[in-house]
Amino acid sequence: MEFCPKCGTVMFPQGDCFECKKCGYKEDITKESMSEYKVSEKVKAKESIIFTSDDIQTLPTTKAICPKCKNKEASWWLQQTRRADESETRFLRCTKCGYTWREYD
């Protein structure tokens, strides 16, 4: 992986150079830099699709009753919100209405 020396963002191959999408820095692709990469299939730019949406569920789910809509399923994650010697806080988000609440151990 190539990183931009100006801003530290990952640079992607664009034609015959690596290009930073954030600041526009370009660096020529050398034989040494290409030895790290294996191209399995060439795809045209218009065919590349990146999904960025709240509709995509990547969190695990559990049975939990939403305090707002009474739905019986929620996504969950753990986050350290207090001191390191205390347990994490469990956050839950309703899969139906999106309401988020927390539980402590």
Close Cβ partners of 19 (under 8 Å, ≥ 6 residues apart): 11, 12, 13, 25, 26
Residue 97 in marked binding region? yes
Residue 4 in marked binding region? yes
| Helix, coil or strand: residue 45 | helix
Query: pTM score > 0.85 for this model?
Result: no
From the list 38, 99, 28, the residue with the least C-alpha distance to 67 is: 99
In the chain, where are the structural domains located?
2-47, 61-103
**Radius of gyration from C-alpha coordinates of the chain:** 22
Residue 7 in marked binding region? yes
Assign domain 61-103 to its CATH architecture.
Answer: Single Sheet (2.20)
Catalytic machinery residues: 85-86
Question: What stretches of the chain adopt beta strand conformation (E)?
Answer: 2-3, 10-14, 17-19, 26-28, 61-63, 73-79, 89-94, 100-103
Per-residue pLDDT of the chain (105 residues; tens, 9 = 90+): 578 888 888 888 888 888 888 888 888 877 666 555 555 566 666 655 555 555 667 789 999 999 999 999 999 999 888 888 888 899 999 999 989 999 876
